[in-house]
């Protein structure tokens, strides 16, 4: 079963629009971590944020902000005043306590491809 769901496969916006990328996760653990990564066309995954399950405070970093809501198991990511350089695939990921053979591996969603046009 998919532990991280990113329902939006592709999003296209015009520069300066705000855009929110949705992430819904599933876990039975009380201690877990959530991550967002950016994958530009070059392919390398760039770390954006890590949030633990006990910290529901929203976070803002420049034009980026994250809304963590345990009640709905969501960890959404908003880009304000989007720019062409924001065009990339964005992945949400979940890290749970050690389970089975995968230890603390990250469970990734399938990603949301964001295209920002001028």
Partner 1 sequence: DGGITQSPKYLFRKEGQNVTLSCEQNLNHDAMYWYRQDPGQGLRLIYYSQIVNDFQKGDIAEGYSVSREKKESFPLTVTSAQKNPTAFYLCASSIVQGQETQYFGPGTRLLVL
Structure tokens, 96: 């749970």
Residue closer to partner 1, measured from CB, 86 or 109:
109
Minimum CB separation of residue 43 from partner 1 in Å reads 4
Task: Return the residue of 11, 13, 24, 45 that touches partner 1, per CB under 8 A.
Answer: 45
Structure tokens, 87: 């065009």
Contacts of 21 (CB under 8 A, 6+ apart): 6, 8, 11, 76, 77, 78, 79, 90, 92, 112, 114
Q: Does 47 bind partner 1 (CB under 8 A)?
A: yes
- Binding to partner 1 in span 24-43, by CB under 8 A: 31-33, 35, 37, 42-43
Residue closer to partner 1, measured from CB, 15 or 55:
55
Residue 115's nearest CA partner among 76, 88, 79 is 88
Identify the three-state secondary structure at position 85. helix
Q: Does 75 bind partner 1 (CB under 8 A)?
A: no
Q: Does 111 bind partner 1 (CB under 8 A)?
A: yes
C-alpha dihedral (5, 35, 46, 21), degrees to nearest 10: 50
Task: Return the residue of 27, 88, 91, 116 that touches partner 1, per CB under 8 A.
Answer: 91
Per CB under 8 A, residues contacting partner 1 are: 4, 9, 31-33, 35, 37, 42-47, 50, 52, 91, 93, 95, 101-106, 108-111
């Amino acid at each position: 079963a998919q532990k991280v769901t990113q329902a939006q496969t592709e999003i296209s916006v015009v520069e300066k629009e705000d855009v929110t990328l949705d992430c819904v996760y599933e876990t039975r653990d009380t201690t877990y971590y959530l991550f967002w990564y950016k994958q530009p066309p070059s392919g390398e995954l760039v770390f954006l944020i890590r949030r633990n399950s006990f910290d529901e405070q929203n976070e803002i970093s420049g034009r980026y902000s994250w809304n963590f809501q345990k009640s709905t198991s969501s960890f959404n990511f908003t880009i304000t005043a989007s720019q062409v350089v924001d065009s990339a695939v964005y992945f949400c990921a979940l890290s749970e306590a050690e389970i089975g053979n995968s230890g603390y591996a990250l469970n990734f969603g399938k990603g949301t491809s964001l295209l920002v046009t001028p």
